[in-house]
Structure 1
Amino acid sequence: MSDTAADPRLLRAPPRKGIRLSWADERLRAIIWQVLVVGIVVAIVWWLVRNTNHNLEVRRIATGWGFLGREAGLPVAESLVSYSPTNTYARALLVGVLNTLKVAVVGIVLATILGTLIGIARLSKNWLLARLAGVYIEVVRDLPLLLQLLFWYAILQGLPSPRQALHPAEGVFLSNRGLKLPWIQWQDAHSFALLGLVIGVVLAVFYARSARAKQMRDGQPRRVWPAALGLILGLPILIWAVLGAPWQGDIPALRGFNFTGGLTVTPEYFALLIGLVMYTAAFIAEIVRAGIQSVARGQWEAAEALGFQRGRIMRLIVLPQALRVIIPPMTSQYLNLTKNSSLAVAIGYQDIVSIANTTLNQTGQAIEGIAIIMLVFLTISLSISLFMNWYNARIALVER
């Protein structure tokens, strides 16, 4: 007889494994709590929808999106696309979205440039420059943004009339009607040339990356700037020449009691842009300062030992390393600037909030109007967040 047959313990069948449900199981508790939370949220949403529908029926308030196709009868002072009061509410809301984007995009670019310069200035060895930057940051950050917007708007409204307008340069006029600048007679060919410029920049970036990758493989440097210059300038010039876009200047001139021609920057937009840029730049300056100071002092000393100038050290060595600290909080400031643009209603600039409020007052579609405002800002904010998160991941230091 073998040892296996002699040992009764080895003949015993192994215990059958089963699933034991017990409150002591952490996974089971987690599932139960998640189901409860989701159920509570669904119940709250169902109650809100049911209660809202009941109140709308009692008050005989119509709902739906049919009002978007009706004639708006709403005057809009400035727009990036053609618009008249005879257009629909959908067109008016599109104008509001574009006006909001015009503030957000230009404001983000200008606030980034100004904030970076002020942040670097606060670290300057020049005592006066550093103190002036510090005073600017502390004063601007401590004043409410709405008060600053009203301040700048009051200053612009206090400028002289068009007949006594300030004339700092040829074709440039500053009055209580806004800022007048020379421009060109914009046509579709100019739009295609601008699109060609954007495509040329993208292609130049890809070409530079390809040349850098080849240099890393074979160690042979390649000149990038001739091809980049040809793409950035040659492509739009070629499109402009083929389509025959005229290059006629549109110079503003005083006619009667106002200016005609040129590019007009209205006082409302100007005040909103100045206020948002200066307010946000103060926060960005502190972020840039903190990012620069996060780089070890040894980086400066090593670069100085190699003979680098301070400007080149900052541009080529310090700032690229500081970006990993700067980018995350910078994203929050971009979002704040975009959302703070809704204060435009206080100074009469017609952004999406202003036009949507007028629309819901005329049509009574309060829920739809608020939903449009929320959707617009949510879309813009998520787009900014996605782009900044992608850029942050791209420049992050990866340990190998």
Structure 2
Amino acid sequence: MVLVAWGLTLLGFGLAMDTPRGILSGLYRIIVEPDFLITDYISVGGLGAAFVNAGLLMLISTGMLRFLDIKITGASISGVWLMSGFGLFGKNILNVWFIILGVWLFSCFQKEKFSKYVYIALFGTSLAPIVTQIIFGLNMPKTFSIPLGMFTGIAVGFILPPLSTHMMRIHQGFNLYNIGFTAGIVGTILVSIFKSNGLQMDTRIIWSTAHQMPLAILLGILFASMVGMGYVYNGMSFRGLQKLYKYSGRAVTDFLVLEGFPLTLINMGVNGIFATVYVILVGGALNGPVIGGIFTIVGFSAFGKHLSNIFPIFIGVALGGLTKMWAVNEPGMLLAALFGTTLAPIAGQFGWGYGVIAGFLHSLVVQNVGYLHAGLNLYNNGFSGGIVAATLIPIIEAFQKEE
């Protein structure tokens, strides 16, 4: 019920921000516009269409979980919020279905229930821009590009489940965006195939800055209501929050299962407020990609992230911005701070010092790995986080063994 209410809130906000004709026109532009990183749907289709798209994706994801009779856990909440957040820059009501269909076909091939793989299907839509790029972004006849795009999306979805299981072993659960790491590898291979056949893809940044006040009000109301609802359901107190902060957050840490819904709600709201305030304080813009990052933090606040383990990552990325050519309020660095919290378990497991180092290294790596997959993997920070975690964890463990 709460997931549905959140989806309806985003949908209602979108409907209030534009006329029906404007929203339909905006949704069409969102669907046909190539949406590799960074493509802000608010700029492409307008504020109303972007949030209608995000709200519909949240409701569709929730409906899928309900249809499959899946018990709502922290993984459910993180998956639904991730779908919604990226519904503001990269995922739309058309391009996600082919990845999901591919994962479903894999479950049929394995003769297992789709419910076992549904989270991989939801998270795996990080590669949805590949479908849009092939269908609408390449100079090909539509009679060829449409079936090719559909087939590619289905094929990607089909190979994601076995790959993601293997990739988890590489970073040992210290990168919360495991599918992002997996999708980065797959995207790199696909882009290499495209480029080898003469298909070049240019990088770009579509970044809106025109709607700061209504977006700030929406986020403030949304996250304050989470804290308030959690406070009420927790017996009019914040009791137990300190215990939640003691978890490392390493995958799999499901706060909904471990500590219950009230404390999880409080944690989600607190982290959402913290992330929003950070963006405002450093002079960043509230737009589709940035709110997507904030929503991702909120979703994973049910599945591994809390204020104690994400704060060091923010410090590390901010230090990276002070010592390099990128300012902390530039698009890449803002997204590195928000999505870089994929490495929060490093701070939770090994302490704040290592968390700051992880955030700092992430701010370096993430600026350069997007070239490999040409922005077709929406979870670029998950790809970078996997590389940083796979490199840093053995070093940390070696030093701890020495001590």
The normalised TM-score by structure 2 is: 0.24
Which structure: greater helix fraction? 2
* Structure whose alpha-carbon radius of gyration is higher: 1
Which structure: greater strand fraction? 1
The normalised TM-score by structure 1 is: 0.24
